[in-house]
Amino acid sequence: MDTVKADIKLNYLGLKNYEPIWRAMQTFTDKRDENTLDELWMVQHPPVFTQGQAGKAEHILNPAGIPVIQVDRGGQVTYHGPGQIVLYPLIDLKRHKIGIKALVNGIEEALIQTMAEYDVVAKRKEKAPGVYVDGKKIASLGLRVRKGCTFHGLAFNIRMDLEPFFRINPCGYAGLEVTQLSELNPDAEFEKVQEILIKNLCEILNFTCKMGPAHHNQKT
């Protein structure tokens, strides 16, 4: 039996500083009501470390001038920088009839399916949210639920400078290696990967994607 798909609005925000986008997610979540359309925010951030609610200072080894921002998502420390797909799903879980565990599973599955299109075998890891290739982390995941609605989201390494990951224990794991899609398949083009990821995510989560007004060309 086919289920009716809900609409979700996709906004491409381009390259934006982390903190204003985080504050905007909080405001959107606080002000939304039962009629507010769910949204996906696609963005890249200038170099920044973000420390989750459970984050421990010892996992930041040497920020060396890169800002560190304490935030209200789950998880430990991670790095954002240009060339990384950052996708924030702003979803009313109750209205969409989906639990947080199913949402996390769906996001991970969309990442796995997207990489499969580039002949890359990615896997989940028990009790370590995110997606891995040969034990190396390629995508991080950290969400917050407020008023039954999600914000924060996923970060997927495509074609970026990975050096800052050596300045932290990624996601709180000392020695955890990090990789990116362009190292595993040189044909991976940022914007194309984005399109495939959105298509897979909307399919898995049962959404119909509607383009928002803020659509910027953001080749990397």
Take residue 106 and report the two structure tokens written for it: 């769906």
Taking alpha carbons only, the member of 168, 194, 177 closest to residue 75 is 168
Cite the DSSP H helix spans in 54-139.
93-96, 100-116
Rounded to the nearest 5 degrees, what angle is found at the Cα of 191, between the Cα atoms of 185 and 196? Answer: 75
How far is Cα of residue 26 from the mean position of the Cα atoms in its chain? Answer: 16
Residue given tokens 């990951």 in the structure block:
165
Residues whose CB falls within 8 Å of the CB of residue 103, separated by 6 or more in sequence, listed in order: 89, 91, 93, 143, 150, 205
Rounded to the nearest 5 degrees, what angle is found at the Cα of 142, between the Cα atoms of 140 and 144? Answer: 165
Taking alpha carbons only, the member of 94, 67, 96 closest to residue 6 is 96
202 is catalytic: no
Q: In what order do the strands lie in the sheet with 207-211?
A: 131-133, 136-146, 149-157, 84-90, 38-44, 6-15, 207-211
The residues annotated as belonging to the active site are 171
